[in-house]
Amino acid sequence: MRIVADVMGGDQAPVAVIKGSVMALERDAGLTMVLCGPKAVIERELGYLNAPRDRIEIVDAPDVIEMAEAPVTAIRQKKNSSLVVGMNLVAAGQGDGFISAGSTGAVLAGATFIIKRIKGINRPALAPILPAKRGGRVLLIDCGANVDCKSEFLRQFALMGDAYMRTVTNAPEPRVALINNGAEPEKGNELTKEAYKLLEKEPSIQFMGNLEPRYILSGAADVVVCDGFVGNMLLKSLEGASVFIFDSLKDIFMQSFATKIGAMILKPKLRSFKRTMDYTEYGGAPLLGVAKPVVKAHGSSNARAYSNAIAQLAQMIRGDVVGKIAQSLQASADQQ
């Protein structure tokens, strides 16, 4: 299996990308990494590491797409950027999957224009995995790729999220829910009311109905579906609440000698819990709906987070998530 990495994407690139790639190679003997980026930079970084060079290929790509660039323009103009070169390799079948921690807009634009969509999919969607109660996981789709959606897009998100969770978590029948402002079928805005009707009659998924956002982290569903604007709001508000609470706890712990003692006892456990709240721990967000497996690693990924995201991409490739999405679409079309 050959995974192509955008060496220059991400806040800690290229170091975290190259280190993370080497960590992934150490964990997975069936893996070859194709590193796309400025050759001299990659060679130099690899020089510091004890890397399995027989499973590393370097493809020179001197240009870099910056975070602030307009995604579509950048993709069109910077033909020699690590992102464009890497995606072209994967599109041409010279790689089995693509990973980048670069700008979400650029990854999305590149995947849509270069790797292209699965036939029948209107809009690819970004689907991060969130923590749920007692070590569970829940896939949120879409979290920001499509800020204005039609109900049909949401139906496709449901099929894609279902295919991903079936493959990667081995849950034979993921419970799929529609994020809404009430549990009753008649609740919602125009979009969710229409989407409910589509999902209700969708034969190829286990649709459990509407779910209010307060239950996302409770583990009540395996896949939660919403438009990209709402998904982005949810992701960022969960993040905000978590930061607010942990910051406030820190203030409480520092209030007196007694609270410091109490905090000291609890610290190791709290730290590991805080880590489960951090969605970068679970790798990246798969970009579902494009014709090859693509994972968008978190922009702030360090080497460990990046290697987790590579492992996630490897799972997507081995489980043929792309093929399963295409099959789901077909099965759904046949039955209607």
* Least spacing, CB of residue 102 vs a copy of itself, in Å: 16
Chosen residue from 179, 309, 311, 321 binding a copy of itself by CB under 8 A: 179
Pattern of binders to a copy of itself over 192-211, x per CB under 8 A?
x-------------------
* DSSP letters spanning 165-179: HHHHS--SS-EEEEE
144 binds a copy of itself (CB under 8 A): yes
262 binds a copy of itself (CB under 8 A): yes
Secondary structure E strands in 101-158? 125-126, 129-132, 136-141
Chosen residue from 11, 53, 201, 218 binding a copy of itself by CB under 8 A: 218
- If the CB atoms of residues 31 and 127 are measured against a copy of itself, the closer one turns out to be 127
- 8 Å CB contact between 201 and 247: no
Residue 36 tokens read as: 């796309």
One-letter amino acid for residue 265 of the chain: I
258 binds a copy of itself (CB under 8 A): yes
- 8 Å CB contact between 161 and 204: no
* Least spacing, CB of residue 217 vs a copy of itself, in Å: 4
Chosen residue from 151, 253, 304, 318 binding a copy of itself by CB under 8 A: 253
- 8 Å CB contact between 161 and 139: yes
67 binds a copy of itself (CB under 8 A): no
- Positive or negative, the Cα torsion across 239, 243, 244, 245? positive
Rounded Cα distance, 5 and 19, in Å: 12
300 binds a copy of itself (CB under 8 A): no
Size (the chain), residues: 336
Reference 63, options 77, 81, 45, 41; nearest CA is 81
Cis ω before 52 (30° cut-off from 0):
no
Chosen residue from 52, 60, 215, 320 binding a copy of itself by CB under 8 A: 215
* Least spacing, CB of residue 137 vs a copy of itself, in Å: 13
> Which residues of this protein are in contact with a copy of itself, per CB under 8 A?
133, 144, 147-148, 179, 181, 188-190, 192, 212-218, 229-230, 232-234, 236-245, 247-249, 252-253, 255, 258-259, 261-266, 269-270, 273, 276-277
